[in-house]
Structure 1
Amino acid sequence: MMEINKLIPAPEIRNWTGPFDDTEYYLNLGKEQAEKIIQWLSIKPEQKILDIGCGCGRIAIHFLNYLNEQGKYIGIDSNKLLLSYCEDNISTVNNNFQFEFVDAYNGAYSRDGKLKCQDIVFPVENESVDTVIMWSVFTHMYLADIDAYLKEIHRVLKKGGLFISSFNLYNKFIENQIKTDKAYLNINYKINEASYTLDKETPEGGFAHDEEKIKDLYWENGFFIREIKYGIWSSKELAGEFHDCIIAEKLEDCLLPK
């Protein structure tokens, strides 16, 4: 069994992905999220996983003792520093864990990126992965970019494959929570009829998107939403996963919307 606590990066690396000065918090959060993903998506040890926005492997390391010799983990990210850490510390202990650079532009996290999200092709073959993970990625993307990524995710997922992504979903309840200062995140700058942001100067710093619009995008791109697990960002009185999570299944071609 791999000693996962030996794979915690230094603060200057892990803090790129969040406020993780606390080593124990970093380790436990990744463990909890990996366990939820495995349970919610019924991931088998022999499956192939694509982690979009893998960062420095906070979730990936907790699959080292779960996936078997047939299982494979592919992480992609736009941060070369974080990917180098993953390659030097995770791939070296298990070469079934591979990490790929995608030169994506993002106004908050990768301003030097050369590719618009709508022009990106994931370095993954068609219908080759069982599961796709996206944690804290769509929360930093415009709707048009989400639409483009959904198309790519549909391309790489096997038929019937599952996909989990985190969101801040905007609805009437959230609107009221923000207006009455009951939400953790004050996402109140309106960009258009379907999108709001924490910071009007750097919108990619944190988006909330209209829930019905997101549902429409999933359906239009060939995904059936199995479940939405609402997070606690909407209320200071709740406990649980912070962001909302959408669990979706790739539809068979005959079931795709016309």
Structure 2
Amino acid sequence: MNAVVALHQPEEVRPVLSKDISLLLDYIESNRFLPTPPDGSIFVGDGDYRAIGAEFLRHFVEIGGLRRSHRVLDIGCGIGRMAVPLTQFIHPERGSYEGFDPVLEGIEWCTRTITGAYPNFRFQCLDVAHAIYNPKGSVSGEELIFPYGDSAFDFAVMTSVATHLMPAELTVYAREIHRVLAPGGRLFLTAFVVDASALDGQGRDPRLGFERAGEGPCWHADKDAPLAAVGFDDGFIDGLLLDAGFRIERKSLGHWRGRSAAHYQDVFVAVRSGGER
């Protein structure tokens, strides 16, 4: 009996093997039928749109513990760079995806291009003010309330968002993520953690010569555009997540600082208190 049960575990508890995710990522990168935004419309950073999305899918699964049956929230979903590869992973019936962003053009493209083919993927625009992405927004990031119910998600993605927020805003985001995650739900967050290795300059990305802003905990790479790249004192995000009710499962420093790593930005994986998933 035990052997039969082990062979037929429900999908929710079966691990995704590295070889399986590697095959899927090869398929995603080579599939010319998967949607890609037109040139000039990608506002979510440099690099290859499809390759970066596939890379993050690997991180979500292998570092973050994402499962096909998870209800996923993508905070700052942009123009679908994370969503497109996730369409090939999230189960069409047992899993789901919600994304929001302040840039209307990105949401319109995602809704038109992705939701039409994958109805369990939904997108909405929130008019959150941001000096770079939505300067005329009607809602302050310090007053933001996510438009979702309590415990609505199992996995939250926050890639390259904390790198464009001030501390008070990031505190609000952490609180709201904790609210909308189910007990045991998981947060995958990327950031720039400014520690001694980031400041010594050996092999560091030359674009990220962070300078302290005031008394901390912020560091800015460009004083003329402070929200273009925001770093935080080592320990600040850790404390913020703990205060919001998370347990930090993993903290992995990235190769932007000139050290060997499997990912560019620094990665936090945090678990909402109250259970495991």
The TM-score with structure 2 as length reference comes to 0.83
User: Sequence identity, in percent?
Assistant: 25
Q: Match for residue 159 of structure 1?
A: 183
Cα distance between partner residues in 2 of 1:122 and 1:55: 16
Determine which of 45, 54, 75 is the counterpart of 1:52. Answer: 75
Q: Does 1:89 align with 2:110?
A: no
Cα distance between partner residues in 2 of 1:143 and 1:132: 19
Determine which of 256, 259, 263 is the counterpart of 1:241. Answer: 263
Q: Match for residue 17 of structure 2?
A: none
Q: Does 1:63 align with 2:86?
A: yes
Determine which of 210, 219, 222 is the counterpart of 1:187. Answer: 210
Q: Match for residue 256 of structure 1?
A: none
Cα distance between partner residues in 1 of 2:33 and 2:190: 25
Question: In the alignment, is the contact (CA less than 8 A) between 1:139 and 1:206 conserved in 2?
Answer: yes
Counterpart residue identity of residue 81, structure 2:
R
Question: In the alignment, is the contact (CA less than 8 A) between 1:138 and 1:167 conserved in 2?
Answer: yes
Counterpart residue identity of residue 135, structure 1:
T
How far did residue 108 of structure 1 move? 2.0
Q: Does 1:28 align with 2:51?
A: yes
Determine which of 144, 162, 168 is the counterpart of 2:168. Answer: 144
Counterpart residue identity of residue 204, structure 2:
A
Q: Match for residue 142 of structure 2?
A: 118
Cα distance between partner residues in 1 of 2:143 and 2:213: 26
Q: Does 1:215 align with 2:242?
A: no
Task: Mark the CA change 1:4 to 1:91 in structure 2 (over 3 Å): closer, same or farther.
Answer: farther
Cα distance between partner residues in 2 of 1:172 and 1:233: 13
Question: In the alignment, is the contact (CA less than 8 A) between 1:5 and 1:27 conserved in 2?
Answer: no
In terms of mean alpha carbon deviation, does 125-134 or 209-218 score higher?
Answer: 209-218
How far did residue 193 of structure 1 move? 2.5
Q: Does 1:19 align with 2:40?
A: no
Q: Does 1:230 align with 2:253?
A: yes
Question: In the alignment, is the contact (CA less than 8 A) between 2:253 and 2:261 conserved in 1?
Answer: no
Question: In the alignment, is the contact (CA less than 8 A) between 1:189 and 1:199 conserved in 2?
Answer: no
Q: How many residues align?
A: 244
Cα distance between partner residues in 2 of 1:4 and 1:119: 41
SS in structure 2 of the partner of residue 6 of structure 1:
coil
Cα distance between partner residues in 2 of 1:5 and 1:242: 28
Cα distance between partner residues in 2 of 1:5 and 1:207: 36
Q: Match for residue 229 of structure 2?
A: 206
Q: Runs of 4 or more off by more than 3 Å in structure 1? A: 1-6, 237-240
Which structure 1 segments of 5+ residues have no match?
Answer: 254-258
Determine which of 22, 26, 34 is the counterpart of 1:6. Answer: 34
Cα distance between partner residues in 2 of 1:5 and 1:198: 38
In terms of mean alpha carbon deviation, does 92-101 or 29-38 score higher?
Answer: 29-38
Which structure 2 segments of 5+ residues have no match?
Answer: 1-26
How far did residue 5 of structure 1 move? 4.3
Q: Match for residue 103 of structure 1?
A: 127
Give the root-mean-square deviation of aligned CA atoms.
1.8
Q: Deviations over 1:116-155 (max 9, x none)?
A: 1111111111011000000100001011110010010010
Counterpart residue identity of residue 46, structure 2:
P
How far did residue 106 of structure 1 move? 1.2
SS in structure 2 of the partner of residue 147 of structure 1:
helix
SS in structure 1 of the partner of residue 154 of structure 2:
strand
